[in-house]
Amino acid sequence: MGRLQAHHQRSPLHLLKRQGGINLPMTAERSANTLIHGFRSSGFTLLELLIVIAVIAILASVGFFSYANFKNPARDASQVVYGILSGTRSESTSNTVSQRLLLGSSGNLLIQQAKNCSTASPSSWTNIKTISYGELTGGTVPSTFVISTPTTAPDASLPANYKLVVCFNSRGLAYIPSDATVGSVRVSDGKHSYVVEVALGGAVRVYGI
């Protein structure tokens, strides 16, 4: 019985030495035995599991807030308006005509073209393109979504229920409403607000407020 117990207590490395004739220094033998027994007893402690769970929770919360900030209808719509204004200016200089952007009472945008920005008769303006409310918002219109322009000056050359945002002449310079210092469109979704602004020189920029 004593021999059997001694046999079971021998390390795997001792058995290898006995069967294969392996000769190792005492320090190497101890290190190998420690490594073998370490593999047998490896695993996660409760503290390690709690740390892993905490890290996962932090990463999940960061991802949630990043996704919430990614969804920004006002920012997306303002970028669409910025592209429209930049494209309208480019078309004016390329075709040596005047083009203007109008904002309708329903939130849609209308691009018109004429010989010059001072053309007074509404019938002398040709409709080029209409951008619907849905196109500005990517098809999803939040209930709090608002698009507006600050001008209130009457303009007999405009069609009914439209306001002038800006008119670009053939040189790319901007003609703005008489009661404004810049042509601008404000976009808001209840949480975020942005302004797309056109300076007299024709430069277009967008910024949050």
Domain-located, residue 26: yes
- Which phi and psi angles does 80 have, rounded to 5°? -65, -45
Domain CATH code at residue 172: 3.55.40.10
**How many domains is the chain partitioned into structurally?**
2
Structural domain span for residue 4:
1-42
Per-residue tens of pLDDT for the chain, all 209 residues = 444 444 445 555 454 445 554 554 555 455 555 545 554 455 678 888 888 888 888 887 776 666 555 677 888 889 999 999 999 999 999 999 999 999 998 889 999 999 999 999 999 999 999 998 888 877 666 667 788 998 888 889 999 999 999 999 999 999 998 888 889 999 998 888 999 999 999 999 999 98
Domain-located, residue 156: yes
Domain-located, residue 62: no
Domain-located, residue 57: no
Domain-located, residue 51: no
- Confirm if 84 and 109 have CB atoms less than 8 A apart: yes
C-alpha span between 71 and 153 (Å, rounded): 35
For residues 111 and 204, membership in a common domain is answered with yes
For residues 81 and 164, membership in a common domain is answered with yes
Handedness of CA 144, 147, 150, 156 (dihedral sign): negative
